A and B are shown apart, each in its own frame.
Chain A
Amino acid sequence: DAKTTQPNSMESNEEEPVHLPCNHSTISGTDYIHWYRQLPSQGPEYVIHGLTSNVNNRMASLAIAEDRKSSTLILHRATLRDAAVYYCILKQYNNNDMRFGAGTRLTVKP
């Protein structure tokens, strides 16, 4: 199984950008990079995903390295509501296997 490595925790100040890194050096050509987050006392929620190109949506941006061995989730202006555990997950297009790693706990300071 392809694995991901993330820092255990990160801190950010409110209204500043946050860059959350993820290493996935054993990624295969059919692995999509998914990001989810889990707010306190809630189920995980989808944030963004990509394959090769950088992606933007209303929640965040995803920057994918050219060799695809790492990626960075970018929150452009952190709010207190963004305090959560962020999970980077590799998922193949042709199956339903979705496994969570340890994730990064993001703390946002006012």
Chain B
Amino acid sequence: DTEVTQTPKHLVMGMTNKKSLKCEQHMGHRAMYWYKQKAKKPPELMFVYSYEKLSINESVPSRFSPECPNSSLLNLHLHALQPEDSALYLCASSQGYGLGTGELFFGEGSRLTVL
């Protein structure tokens, strides 16, 4: 199984809603990533978890709250978002630094629209 599964594929939410994006992998990977991608732009790194600990936080606003309950799961909790937060949110995983090729496996993304 070399898949990273993201749910939901599409999400529409109002600015006062609370929602979550979920990501799951069963490859035994110990590093998991969240990226944000706007149309026609490259993915922007948001957060990296390494061995279930937050290792990189790219000064992301607190309305985005990541969580890594275990090494297979990664959540992104969303609250009080703005319309400019509408984007494709990509999850990825890798074996972890110093391990393997460093190859990242990406999910297909969750497309978020904030009204």
Residues of A that sit less than 8 Å from B by CB? 32, 34, 36, 38, 42-46, 49, 85, 87, 91-103
Counting from the closest, the 5 A-B pairs by CB-CB distance are A43-B106, A100-B42, A46-B103, A96-B31, A100-B43
Q: How many residues of B contact A (CB 8 A)?
A: 27
Q: Which of B24-57 contact A (CB under 8 A)?
A: 31, 33, 35, 42-45, 48, 50, 55-56
Question: What is the bound-complex CA distance between A97 and B98, given in angstroms?
Answer: 12
7 A-B pairs (CB sep. < 8 Å): A44-B43, A44-B90, A46-B101, A96-B56, A98-B92, A98-B94, A99-B45
Known: A46-B105, A95-B97. 4 other contacts (CB 8 A): A95-B55, A96-B55, A96-B96, A98-B45
Query: Interface on B for A, CB 8 Å cutoff?
Result: 4, 31, 33, 35, 42-45, 48, 50, 55-56, 90, 92, 94, 96-98, 101-109
CB of B48, distance to nearest CB on chain A (Å)? 5
